[in-house]
Structure 1
Amino acid sequence: MRVFPVYAPKLIVKHARIFFTGVVWVKNLGRLEFEKGKFLLPKKSLPQIREAVLELNQLIEQQTQAANSI
């Protein structure tokens, strides 16, 4: 588990893409799980957590498309 003291989407996505499966803890958001390079949306979550997970998955998708186009 990696701890991020601030919400830094690019660093969090980089960590998820490198390790592919695991857990990160982000201050003010809590525990976020990722599997197969994508963040999983908790069954019960606050709107801010849902928005963060959607943003992180969107960044992962953009980076994947950019890597495939090269």
Structure 2
Amino acid sequence: MRIFNNYQPLLIAKHVKTFFKGRLYIHGRGAYHYAKGLLVMPEQADDQHRKTVSEVNRLINQLNSPQATA
């Protein structure tokens, strides 16, 4: 289990993408489970959990998508 003392969505997204499956805890936001490289929505999620999961998963999808070269 990885513990994040601060909510840093990009760092969390890179961690989840790299380790693919596991658990993490964000101080002030709670515990999360991730599988298949994405955060999983808890069964009884409040608004803060929903926002965190959707934001981190959006960043993971952006990291996975190919970057357009200019």
| TM-score normalised by structure 1 residue count | 0.90
Q: Following TM superposition, by how much is the alpha carbon of 1:45 offset from its aligned partner in structure 2, in angstroms?
A: 1.2
Residue equivalent to 1:52: 52
Distance 1:7 1:66 in 2: 26
The RMSD of aligned alpha carbons is 1.4
Distance 1:53 1:35 in 2: 12
In structure 2, the gaps of 5 or more residues are: none
User: Is 1:10 paired with 2:19?
Assistant: no
1:31-66 residue CA offsets vs partner (Å, 9 max, x unmatched):
111001010001101101100000000000111113
| TM-score normalised by structure 2 residue count | 0.90
Count of matched residue pairs: 69
Q: Following TM superposition, by how much is the alpha carbon of 1:28 offset from its aligned partner in structure 2, in angstroms?
A: 1.1
In structure 1, the gaps of 5 or more residues are: none
Correspondences of 1:1-70 after superposition (within 5 Å) = 1-66=1-66
More helix by share: 1
Question: After TM superposition, which residue ranges in structure 1, 4 or more long, deviate above 4 angstroms?
Answer: none
Question: Match for 2:15: what amino acid?
Answer: H
Distance 1:31 1:66 in 2: 30
